[in-house]
Structures are given as C-alpha cells and as structure tokens.
Chains A and B, each alone.
Chain A
Amino acid sequence: RKEVEQDPGPFNVPEGATVAFNCTYSNSASQSFFWYRQDCRKEPKLLMSVYSSGNEDGRFTAQLNRASQYISLLIRDSKLSDSATYLCVVNSRSGYALNFGKGTSLLVTP
C-alpha cells in the first residue's frame, strides 16, 4: 500500500463552485500533514498545514480524521487561478522527510 493515496482526478468545476479532495495515509503514527500546490511545469509550494482540529485559510479548509487516516481539502468559491495539482503530504516514518501523494488535478472553468 502506498504511504499516501489520492484520487488523481481531474476535477473539472465551474468558477464559484465548491470542491473537495480527500487523501488517505497508511502510517497511523504520522504526526504532520500538509497540502502543497503545484502549477503546471512548476515547483510545489506549501498551501497549508493540516491541524488535528481542522483549519481554515480564506477559501481553503483542511480537515484531519486520524481514526480513518484521511485528510481533506475543501475549496470554496473556486477561482480560475485555483487550477493546479494539489499534493497531499505526510511526514515519513523516519521523520526526516515527507511522503507526497501523486496529486489531484483541478481545472476551474469559466
């Protein structure tokens, strides 16, 4: 089983829509969780960390369910500029590195 699994999509949504992505992780001892964003042919950049109690950053909300070992990202009022690949990231078993999911592709259309 892969350390981090995501639905690759693509998710095609109209501007203004709400879209949610989920990812699952295999290591129940994982402590650190993130969402990174990667634009086409660009480097990944941190979007937000994910905290146990859930957290929000503007239109973005991240949730963590430790019992079921999944992480979610909700994007409200989608913008064209939200079109990108969203990477679910969990700390590795060693603690020295991160495990990246393969990413979920989002395309927001006018």
Chain B
Amino acid sequence: NAGVTQTPKFRVLKTGQSMTLLCAQDMNHEYMYWYRQDPGMGLRLIHYSVGEGTTAKGEVPDGYNVSRLKKQNFLLGLESAAPSQTSVYFCASSLQGPSSYEQYFGPGTRLTVT
C-alpha cells in the first residue's frame, strides 16, 4: 500500500494564479483532512471530509476550496493564490473519526507564492 500520497511535492505560484493539490489514499479511509504548517504556527486544519461527497470547514478555510468526489481522493484548490498561502500543506486520512483512529499523513506539498 502506498498509504497517503500528495501531488505535487513542490510548486511555485505567482500571486493570483490558481492550482489544485491532490491527495490520494489507498486504505479505504472515511475521513480525510487538509492542514497547513507554518513556522511557529503548528499544524492548522483547513478543511476536512467525513466521507465521500462531504466537506467541512476547519480552522483556516478562507481562500481554499475542497472536493471529495471519490472516497480515495481529496482535492484542495487555491482559486487566487496569495503570498500568505506560502506554506507546507499536509493531507491526512483516518479510518473513522480521529479521536479513536490514527491519522496517517502524506509527505506534504511545499508551496511558495511570489
């Protein structure tokens, strides 16, 4: 099993450009999450999904959109990138709710917005 994979690993965008980050998991997990990690800020939850076709806002959702059309994929979109969105983005998944089940993380996407 590949676990949780993320595409791309690195990306540089100009302000105002758009892009989509792809997260895929092959563990048949119901829950999926998108986090961003910035120096001194720790991991902050952007959006999450509790099952195929569902999404919900996390702590810092502004400027991002998500979709979960297939159970194994969770997409994070930036419609108009801003320098404040420069960060490392981690996707994670868990079999069920994270209170009882381990969250598995992908390797991360390093995004720079200039």
Which of A's residues lie within 8 Å of B, judged by CB? 31-32, 42-46, 87, 91-92, 95-98, 100-103
Report if A96-B43 is in contact (Cβ < 8 Å); known contacts: A42-B107, A43-B106, A91-B98: no
Residue of A nearest to B6 (CB): A43
Q: Is the interface of B mostly helix, strand, loop or mixed?
A: loop
Q: Which of B90, B99, B100 contacts A44 (CB 8 A)?
A: B90
A96 touches B42 (CB 8 A): no
- Min Cβ gap A32→B in Å is 4
Which of chain A's residues have a CB closer than 8 A to the CB of B45?
A: 92, 97-98
Q: CB < 8 Å: which of B97, B102, B108 contacts A95?
A: B97
In whole angstroms, what is the CA distance A68 to B40 when docked? Answer: 25
Question: With the chains together, A31 CA to B98 CA distance in Å?
Answer: 11
Q: List 20 A-B contacts (CB under 8 A).
A: A32-B98, A32-B100, A43-B90, A43-B106, A43-B108, A44-B43, A44-B103, A44-B105, A46-B102, A46-B103, A92-B45, A96-B48, A97-B33, A97-B45, A97-B48, A98-B98, A100-B42, A100-B43, A102-B41, A103-B42
Please report the total number of B residues contacting A with Cβ < 8 Å. 24
Query: B: which residues have CB within 8 A of A?
Result: 31, 33, 35, 40-45, 48, 50, 56, 58, 90, 97-100, 102-103, 105-108
Q: Which residues of A contact B99 (CB under 8 A)?
A: 31-32, 91, 95, 98
Q: What number of residue pairs across chains A and B have CB atoms under 8 A from each other?
A: 49
Closest to B110 in A: A41
For residue B44, which residues in chain A have a CB less than 8 angstroms away from its CB? 100
A102: chain B residues within 8 A (beta carbon): 40-42
Partner pick for B105 among A32, A43, A97, CB 8 A cutoff: A43
CA distance A28 to B97 in the complex (A): 19
Query: Which residues on A sit within 8 Å (CB–CB) of B107?
Result: 42-43
Residues of B within 8 A of A42 (CB): 107-108
Contacts of B58 in A (CB 8 A): 97
- 10 further A-B contacts with Cβ under 8 Å, apart from A95-B97, A97-B48, A98-B103, are A32-B98, A42-B107, A42-B108, A43-B105, A43-B106, A44-B43, A97-B33, A98-B45, A100-B43, A101-B42
